[in-house]
Chains A and B, each alone.
Chain A
Amino acid sequence: MKVLTKLRRLIPEFWDTDPAAGPYKSLFNYRRIWRLAIVLLAVVALVPLIVMTFIDYNVTRTSLESENLLRAARTTSNTRRAVSYFLDERKSALEYVVLQEDVESLLDPQRLSRVLEALKQGFGGFVDLGLIDGQGRQVAYVGPYQLQGRDYSAQTWFTRAMDKGDFISGVFRGYRDVPHLIVAIKCPERIGGKQYVLRATLDTEQFNNILSSMDLSGGGDAFLVDVHGMLQTPSRWNGPVLSRTSLRIPEYSDSTQVMLARDESGREVIVGYAYITDTPFILLLVKPTAELMKPWQSIRIELLWMLVVSVAVILLVIMGVATYMVGKIYLADQTRARTLHHMEHTNRMASIGRLAAGVAHEINNPLAIINEKAGLVRDLFVYKKEYAEDERLLGIVDSIISSVERCGTITKRLLGFARHIDVRVENIRFADLVEEVLGFLHKEAEYRSITIDLDIEDALPEFQSDRGKLQQILLNLVNNAFQAMSDGGRLAIAAHRQGRNAIRFTVADNGCGIPEADRKRIFEPFFSTKKTRGGTGLGLSITYGLVQELNGEMSVESEVGRGTTFAITLPLHANIKGEQTHENSSR
């Protein structure tokens, strides 16, 4: 509950104003102004921020991505060179052997095993060495297997080596059922001599070491495949040697390439690849994109945080500023409306006063003439015997004279009313006041058969207030009641003492009543339910203003179809600021 009341305090004053109250609706729709200001400021402030963040986001991502691709390409390229070098070195060693040694000496197993020993020591990776004649028969062999006399004529490596002069095979199991690869070199031809091929088997250990020694952080993987996608070296994630990789084998390219692909578990990966020249090998370097983009994740979160915090701060400041500014506008409008209202009231009263005084003055002179003429006629009747007995004539003259008297009373009242434009405090008997005001209206009441009930406490004390303003208040309320009632209605004016220092009077009618929705607004300037019938919407608001000027309070109770009661409470002792007090200065 406490939180709720605190929150309610945050709602600005202008929030609950009704934009439909006045004639210039859009001008006084503060909520709309507020919303507009917030939207406009927010768009102007946030759009560049969001656009900049978005651009920065993309630029950072793109640069990181291209850097990753570049790095993958470089690593692939280096690895390719290492593998390529490894194979070339061994091929060159064999080439050296066939150039240096005669076929005859190689046919000698002791010599052959010395050569193998030298190769093993010098380069490493050699498992065995064999010499195969032109028909594919292995004529000399040194190594751990019993392969002497084997026929290789149907083997691809053999035919290729015979055709091309050298050949490096893919990894295969062969007769010995161990993964290995073959480097075969055709011996230089002798005149009329037989053709021979020197064949060396390399174990894949050293080969694997080259790849596994690479510094591939995290989920990185580097391995060789052949063109059919068979793994030539073991892979961390893509299966054992000589199994098929799920990765698509890329098109041939003589340079290092990088592509994006998906591995078998569906992860996005960056694949760097290179075809190793003159071998069946393709080097594949696989790195999961997510891992490479890890630094990007943290940057992204930082960016997002920055964005969220700045947007929140900007929105908060904008809301604060908009609320403050619109609040100021609202206050200024209120002050202006009050001033205008007050001026209008003063002007209105001043012109009414001048008009009333002018009319009264002008009418008084002809009235005086009628009075004297009628008086003279009456005198003549009284002093001359023949008319003195005619009671009818005398009655007519008396009625003329009494009418003139009534007119005189009216003009005097008008003058009295006009005199009270300025604020002046005097002692007032409420009964007199009611009589004065009803004097203006009792003709209309009679004409419309409206009954007026007075209930004024006998012991009601005189009180200090401004007679003119009170007359105006009462006149407005009674007029209002008359307008709300149909002919034959009933108006009740009551006055009683309230507490020690106040009197309270009520003006009640049994007219049409005011709907609940309108009741809150009837004291607002320019609010009128009689717009079509020429109401200015100022009457009750002026009345309200006057009551406030007299330090009084005004309230209304109403029931649709039953009638309306206006109640006004006034202090017994006026304490009207800035006004001179004229005690009992007129009448």
Chain B
Amino acid sequence: MSEKVLLVDDETEFLESLSERMSMRGMNVSTADTPASAMRAVEAESYDAIVLDLQMPEMNGIDLLKFIREKHPEMQVILLTGHATLEKGVQAMKLGAMDFMEKPADIDVLTEKIKKAQARKLVLVEKMTEDKIREIMTTKGW
């Protein structure tokens, strides 16, 4: 089962190359080069993992992270940034990011993390479905 990944970065050159390389590794990759288009994509489809740059024009990665965690907590976020500082990393993890990577990143490491993200999302979705069924059962009195 191929992983469904959304890459968010304002550097389109970076975005194109990375998405092509990930596709070659059998992943289903979409890209967004602005926070707005990223938000639209998240609303439209469900992704296993979202690879997110921290520093972008218009809206920074932390705000986008908050938005995703609020609306779609099952989607796993991996931060990938050139402006790595310890404080930001810690902040991102506290906000629920799954992982934090510094540019330039090794593609194999990233692939590993995406695979982990997919597995985690599956577990989460299963648990959420279970919860939902239990909820329906209790409310309907089954």
Please list the residues of chain A having a beta carbon within 8 angstroms of any beta carbon in chain B.
361, 364-365, 367-373, 375-376, 379, 383, 404-405, 407-408, 412, 415, 419, 585-586
| B17 at the A interface (CB under 8 A) | yes
Asked if B102 and A364 make an inter-chain contact with CB atoms under 8 angstroms apart, the answer reads yes
A371 neighbours in B (Cβ, 8 Å): 103-105
A415 neighbours in B (Cβ, 8 Å): 84-85
CB closest residue in chain B, given A407: B104
A371 to B18 alpha-carbon distance, docked (Å): 9
Asked if A376 and B104 make an inter-chain contact with CB atoms under 8 angstroms apart, the answer reads no
Asked if B104 and A370 make an inter-chain contact with CB atoms under 8 angstroms apart, the answer reads yes
Asked if A368 and B24 make an inter-chain contact with CB atoms under 8 angstroms apart, the answer reads no
- Bits for B99-112, please: 1 = Cβ < 8 Å to A, else 0: 00011111100000
Given contacts A368-B103, A368-B105, contact A361 B14 (CB under 8 A): no
A sample of 19 inter-chain contacts (CB < 8 A) reads A361-B82, A364-B82, A364-B84, A364-B103, A367-B103, A368-B104, A369-B13, A369-B17, A372-B14, A372-B18, A372-B21, A373-B17, A375-B107, A376-B21, A379-B24, A383-B24, A408-B102, A412-B84, A585-B86
| B135 at the A interface (CB under 8 A) | no
CB of A71, distance to nearest CB on chain B (Å): 105
CB of A127, distance to nearest CB on chain B (Å): 139
Q: A364-B103, A368-B82, A404-B104 are in contact. List 20 more A-B contacts (CB 8 A).
A: A364-B83, A364-B102, A364-B104, A365-B11, A365-B82, A367-B104, A371-B103, A371-B104, A372-B14, A372-B18, A372-B21, A373-B13, A376-B20, A376-B21, A379-B21, A408-B102, A408-B104, A412-B84, A415-B85, A586-B86
Given contacts A367-B103, A379-B24, A412-B102, contact A361 B83 (CB under 8 A): yes
In the complex, which of the residues B21, B83, B102, B103 has the most CB atoms of chain A within 10 Å of its own CB atom? B103
Tell me which of B14, B20, B86 contacts A368 (CB under 8 A).
B14
B102 neighbours in A (Cβ, 8 Å): 364, 408, 412
CB closest residue in chain B, given A370: B104
- Bits for B66-94, please: 1 = Cβ < 8 Å to A, else 0: 00000000000000001111100000000
B104 neighbours in A (Cβ, 8 Å): 364, 367-368, 370-372, 404-405, 407-408
Chain B interface residue bracket vs A: 10 to 19
CB of B139, distance to nearest CB on chain A (Å): 48
B103 neighbours in A (Cβ, 8 Å): 364-365, 367-368, 371, 408
A365 to B104 alpha-carbon distance, docked (Å): 7
Of all A-B residue pairs in the complex, the 8 with the closest CB atoms, nearest first, are: A364-B82, A371-B104, A368-B103, A372-B17, A365-B82, A368-B104, A376-B17, A369-B14
A162 to B11 alpha-carbon distance, docked (Å): 157
B24 neighbours in A (Cβ, 8 Å): 379, 383
CB closest residue in chain A, given B20: A376
A368 to B16 alpha-carbon distance, docked (Å): 12
A364 neighbours in B (Cβ, 8 Å): 82-84, 102-104
- Bits for B7-44, please: 1 = Cβ < 8 Å to A, else 0: 00001011001101100100000000000000000000
A405 neighbours in B (Cβ, 8 Å): 104, 106
B11 neighbours in A (Cβ, 8 Å): 365, 368-369
In the complex, which of the residues B11, B17, B83, B102 has the most CB atoms of chain A within 10 Å of its own CB atom? B17
A157 to B107 alpha-carbon distance, docked (Å): 158
CB closest residue in chain B, given A587: B86
In the complex, which of the residues B14, B82, B83 has the most CB atoms of chain A within 10 Å of its own CB atom? B82
Asked if B82 and A367 make an inter-chain contact with CB atoms under 8 angstroms apart, the answer reads yes
A125 to B117 alpha-carbon distance, docked (Å): 158
Asked if B82 and A375 make an inter-chain contact with CB atoms under 8 angstroms apart, the answer reads no
CB closest residue in chain A, given B12: A369
In the complex, which of the residues A367, A376, A383, A412 has the most CB atoms of chain B within 10 Å of its own CB atom? A376
CB closest residue in chain A, given B90: A585
CB closest residue in chain B, given A412: B102
A367 neighbours in B (Cβ, 8 Å): 82, 103-104
- Bits for B55-72, please: 1 = Cβ < 8 Å to A, else 0: 000000000000000000
A415 to B84 alpha-carbon distance, docked (Å): 8
CB closest residue in chain A, given B108: A375
A369 to B11 alpha-carbon distance, docked (Å): 8
A419 to B84 alpha-carbon distance, docked (Å): 11
A408 to B102 alpha-carbon distance, docked (Å): 9
CB of A175, distance to nearest CB on chain B (Å): 144
CB closest residue in chain A, given B15: A372
A370 neighbours in B (Cβ, 8 Å): 104
B107 neighbours in A (Cβ, 8 Å): 372, 375
B105 neighbours in A (Cβ, 8 Å): 368, 371
CB of A410, distance to nearest CB on chain B (Å): 12
Tell me which of A375, A408, A419 contacts B17 (CB under 8 A).
A375
In the complex, which of the residues A370, A372, A383, A586 has the most CB atoms of chain B within 10 Å of its own CB atom? A372
A405 to B84 alpha-carbon distance, docked (Å): 16
CB of B80, distance to nearest CB on chain A (Å): 8
CB closest residue in chain B, given A368: B103
A585 to B102 alpha-carbon distance, docked (Å): 18
A375 to B11 alpha-carbon distance, docked (Å): 16
CB closest residue in chain A, given B24: A379
CB closest residue in chain B, given A363: B82
CB of A157, distance to nearest CB on chain B (Å): 139
A586 neighbours in B (Cβ, 8 Å): 86
A373 to B84 alpha-carbon distance, docked (Å): 21
CB of B77, distance to nearest CB on chain A (Å): 18
B86 neighbours in A (Cβ, 8 Å): 419, 585-586
